[in-house]
Every structure is written in structure tokens, then in C-alpha cells.
Structure 1
Amino acid sequence: MSRAVTHVLLVHDQALVRQGLRLLLELGGIDVVGEAADGESVVAAVARLRPDGVLMDLRMPGMGGVGATGRVAGSARVLARTTFDSDEDIADVLRAGAVGFLVKDVTSDGVVDAVRRAAAGEPVVSPTVLARSMGHFAARPPTPPVLPPGLVDLSDREPEVLARIGAGRSTTEIAAELSISMATVKTHVRRIFAELDLRDRAQAVVVARKAGLVADPRTP
């Protein structure tokens, strides 16, 4: 079964670069329906040609790639491509509506594949950009627990009961794990609900998790 043809608008302010990209994309089976050298031309060309996607350079005279992306992202899927892979560039163009971001060290086959996927609506990110973003994400400090008002007023035993409610334990299981009676568990639960202003166990689960109490008590 033949693959549907992808129709793309090519955007760059340098004619020689556009020529090279056109050849690359057309050899890859992509139909380049038009070219543009600045943001204003992009807006007009998208309205006139209705491409599936736009391969968008970011640094152009006049209206840049970010501004043009914001104007056309509702009509065509935009894949941004630039030499400059600053976090600010990436964030700005993605906020403007682009479905992906490529830096210019991507291979020829990688560009063709990325354009086709982006035009189909699939998010696309250069491996180098993705790796850096993952590094930023991994380096972020963990979200601190949110301690609800009233938690400090619980007895020493009651946070243990709340932790087990958060882990999905039944009253019977909590009693067995803490070696206390079911009546005592119910007393603790009533007091927990009163101190933390909880209506039901579902709310208790949420509070226990936000407070960082939900590490499984049976895990050593």
C-alpha cells in the first residue's frame, strides 16, 4: 500500500539553504508545495497553499519563526529547525504551537522522517534536545511533601494508620500490621478524619500521598 504524500511548506531566509532542503525532502518523497523567506510570507503561504506541515527556520528578518508559528499553528503542523538550540528558543516555539524542534545536526534521513511525522501530528524532538531536556528534568529537586494542617496534631500512631490507608489497606489489614484491635483502628481513623477535615478514605489516600506517607509499610 502506497504511503500518503506529505505536503510541506519550506521556510528559511537563505535561498541556497531552501534549495538544499527542497532537494532533500523531495528525494525523500515529500511534496514541497512552496517556500517562504520570512514570517509574513509564511502566514500568506499557509493560507494559500494549505500544507500539511511547515519546516520553519526560527531566525529570520521581520516576523521571526516563533511569531509565524503562533500565526499558523492552528492551520498547519509546524516543525521548527534551527542552529540555535537554546532552552528559550525551544520553549518559545513550542509554546507558540510547534509540534517539534530539530537542530541542524540531524541527518538527512532524520530530517525527512521528522518532517513526515510532524506533518502527521506526531511530536518530534532532536535526540540532543531530548537528552538535554531529560537531564534538566532529572536534575530538578523532588517535590517536597505537602503537610496538611492538623497532621502535627495526630498521635504517634495515627500517621502510621494514615500511611496504611494511603497504601490501600483495609481496617482488618491495618489492625493486623500494627498489632492493635479493629476498634482501635476505627478510633484512630475517626480522629484522623476529624483533625484533617476528611470526608472519606479517597481523600485520606490523596492526603497521605501528598504528605509523603505512602511508602509501602511492608517494604523493608
Structure 2
Amino acid sequence: MKPLEFRGHDVPLHNFTVDNDGLSPDKTKRTVQGGHMQGTFEFRYAQFHWGSTSSQGSEYRVDGIAYPMEAQLVYTRDNYAAVKEPGHKYSVAIMATLYQVTFVDFDSVRAMRSILEVVESTTSTRGHRSLRHLLPWMVRRLTGHGSDADKSFPLTLHSLMPQADRQKFYTYRGSLTTPPCTESVRWTIFSRNAFISEALPSLRAAWWLEREIRSDLASL
């Protein structure tokens, strides 16, 4: 089997949007192919799941272990634009990364620390705000866009994935875990983890307003 090939995943995300439904990209084409993919799939959006404590939050468990956060990158075959109305069996692919807590200063931890600094400064000076309003403001700060920008954060799709050995994973054919629960999804769950710091409680506290704490839905 050929290795997975990621194209455009090192290109920084600019002018993307973030709201309660997840992160939507700019106009740059980012694709994955090879391996078990049976075609070329183009990135559409990302969504994140976290829990009320660091011992839960991910939709997937591995060997009975839940993780504090999970990032899901959603792709469709490059000739299908809509996830909700796919025109081909298995026309949606989702790459899931499980995050574990660490005290080591990895790049992903430093990136999350920068995000949390912005979140905490926002909530301390403006009080709790709707997630729909908080996240776009935060992203403008981190990417250098907007009049109040004072940080630069080179967010890429690879920064949301494991930093090593992306060729090891679990895979199966299933459905979306959120409405409309489309049954045309090729799931890929990386066996290596990404990392997040114990500052995650600040993220939970800042985004509590419109965030439903989800229980685990699947085990591997």
C-alpha cells in the first residue's frame, strides 16, 4: 500500500473562518491521497471535541482510554463540494487526531498557550462572550489580521495532526458523528497523538457558553 500523501498541509491557513460548526479554510487547495483513500480528497473544514475534564472529551477511545481533546479534519472527494449531500459512496474522509496532556514544551503546546493567552485576555476584559463572536476575534489576533492584531500564529493542517509517523492509523468505513450522520465516511484515526497542555481548563471555561460537552461515541 502506498503511503498517505498530504498536499498543501504545510501552507499556513489565512482568511479562514471559525464558528460553532468548526474551522473553514481559505481558497488554497489542500488534499490527501494514497494509502487506503481510493482517490483524492480535498479538505473542507475542521471540528474539535473536548470534555469537562482531562480524562474525557475525545469521541474515540483507544484500548479503553479516552483523551482530553480530538481534532477532526473533514475532506470530500475533490469533485464533491458538499459534505451533507455526497454523490458517491464513501465520498467523505475524516482524519482524526487524539490529543494527550503533556508538560513538555512541544510546538503544539506553545501554539495552544498563545491561543489561551488570547482567550483569557478576552474573557477577563470582556466577560464571557458567545463562541461565535469570540473565535473570529481570537483568530484575527493570532494570524495578524484585523486592527487589534498583535500576534502571528502560522496555523497549518499539519499542526493539527501528529508531528511524527502519520502513516500509522486505524481505519474503517462509517458515518458522520454529527447530523446529518451521512453513511459515506472513510474514518482514519492516527495511532500517534498530538499534544496539549494542562491549560485546557482555561479553554473550557472561556468557551462554555455555546459548547455542549459530548460523551465518547466510539472505541477502538
TM-score after normalising by structure 2 = 0.20
| More relative contact order, 1 or 2 (CA 8 Å, 6+ apart) | 2
Q: Highest CA radius of gyration, 1 or 2?
A: 1
TM-score after normalising by structure 1 = 0.20
More helix by share: 1
More strand by share: 2
